[in-house]
Amino acid sequence: MSFSPLGLPAYLLDTLEKQKFTKAYPIQEMAIPAVLEGKDLLGIAQTGSGKTASYVLPILANLEKVTTRVARHVEVLVLVPTRELAVQVEGVFKLYGKSLPFRFKSLAVYGGASINVQMQALPKVNVLVATPGRLLDLISVNAVQLSAVKTLVLDEADKMLNLGFKDEMDKILTFLPEKRQNLLFSATLSPNVENVRNVLLEDPLVINIAPEEKTVDLINQSAYSVTLAQKGPLLRHLIKAKKMRQVLVFTSSVYQADQVASKLSKNRFSSAAIHGKKSQGARSQALSDFKTGKVRVLVATDLLARGIDIEFLPFVINYELPRSPKDFVHRIGRTGRAENPGEAISFVTEEDRHHFKVIQKKMKKWVDLVDGEETTRLLEG
C-alpha cells in the first residue's frame, strides 16, 4: 500500500516521495491511522520492519494541532534503551521534521555526553528522545518538564525491561500527565512487556508483525567448527577470501570486542570496537566510520546491536554465540534486509555445539556445520 490513503498531510507525503519511500510497511499501514486518531498502541515488530517511521510520521502530523507551547515543556517523549538508538530515532524525527510548516525542534539526550550542552539545547523542544537515566538527571535539575507530554513512546520496550530500566521508567511516569497517548513498541511480547502494557495502555490497538520466513531465507547462513585458537585466523581468512568490504562481528563481552578489533588492526584490517564502555564520542565515530566505509570491520556487543541500522549490510559474523536464540536471530537480522540478500557466519566451538542446536531449533532453520578438519585445511591453505 502507498502512504497516500493513510491520512498523512501533504507535506509529509512530499518528503516521503523525495526520500523515495513509496510503499508503506505492514506496521506503518496499521499504526499510522491509529496514532493520528490518538489511540494507544502496542506494536510487536522486529527491528528493520519500519516501526520508527510508523510513529514518527503521525506524531509529527499531530503536532500541528498543538496551539500553546511552554518553554522547557515537551509535547512528545520517546524513551529508548541506548544512546545509539536515541540518536537514530531523533535523526528520523529531524529528517521528516524539515518539511513541517510550523516550528519544530527535536533533541536526543543520553548519558556519556555533556549534560550542560543538553540543558542549553532543551528550550523550545517539541520531541525529546531520551534514555531513562539521563532524563531523570535533567528532571532533577528542573531542566525539563513533562507535565505537558501528550504522547509517550516506549521504543524497544523488551530491551529496556531486560536491561533493568523498570524502576527508572516508573519514576518517569510519575512526572507525566494522566491523560496522554501511549505507544509501546517491542520486538517480543514478553511477560514484562505484557505487564507494562496492562499498566500503560488503555484499550490499545495491538499490532503483531511476525517475522517473515522470507526475511530469514534472504540470509545465507553457514557455520564453522573451530577451536578457540582458530577463531582469529579464521576470521581474517574469511574477510580476505570473501572480499568483505563491510562486516559486523559480534562478541559476547566488552573485553573480547576490544581484543578482536585490536588483533584485526594489527593485521592491517581497518576495524573498530563498539560497546557500552566506550565514550559516546568514540561510539558515534566508530559507527559513522563503519557506515561510510572508512572502517571495514565493526566489532560489537549485543547491547549495542539495536543501534546499528544499516540497510545494505552484506556480512554478519558471530565470533561468539549469544546466550539467547532471540539474540541470535536479532544479530543475523542486521543483514538480509529490505529484500537484499546477506550472509551470516557463526563460529562454533565443541562447547557451543549443543547451544547451537537449540538456536537452530528455535529459529526453525538448520545450518550446515563445516567440520574442524575442513576449517584447518582452509587455514593452512
How many C-beta atoms lie closer than 10 Å to residue 10's C-beta?
10
Domain residue extents for the chain: 4-208, 213-380
- Tell me the pLDDT tens digit for each residue of 106-134: 999 999 889 999 999 998 899 999 999 99
What cell does 238 get?
Answer: 574469511
Whether 4-208 and 213-380 share one fold: the answer is yes
Give the number of C-alpha atoms closer than 13 A to the C-alpha of residue 274, restricted to the C-beta side.
30
Q: What is the pLDDT of residue 211?
A: 57
Question: Under DSSP, is residue 216 helix (H, G, I), strand (E, B) or coil?
Answer: helix
Backbone angles phi, psi at 361, to 5 degrees: -65, -45
Can you tell me the distance from the alpha carbon of 217 to that of 214, in angstroms, rounded to the nearest whole number? 5
Q: Which CATH number fits domain 213-380: 3.40.50.2000, 1.10.3720.10, 3.30.420.40, 3.40.50.300?
A: 3.40.50.300
- Tell me the pLDDT tens digit for each residue of 15-58: 998 888 888 988 999 999 999 999 999 998 876 678 899 999 99
**What is the block-wise mean pLDDT of the chain (381 residues), using blocks of 10 residues?**
90 89 89 95 81 94 79 90 89 91 93 92 94 95 94 88 81 94 86 80 86 61 94 94 93 93 95 84 84 92 66 88 85 71 91 93 88 82 68
DSSP codes, 308-365 = ---TT--EEEESS--SSHHHHHHHHTTSS-TT--EEEEEEE-GGGHHHHHHHHHHHT-
| Bridge partner residues of 106 (DSSP) | 127
* CATH code of the domain occupying 4-208: 3.40.50.300
Q: What is the pLDDT of residue 139?
A: 95
Q: What is the 3-state secondary structure (H, E, C) of 291-324?
A: HHCCCCEEEECHHHHHHCCCCCCCEEEECCCCCC
Can you tell me the distance from the alpha carbon of 200 to that of 184, in angstroms, rounded to the nearest whole number? 9
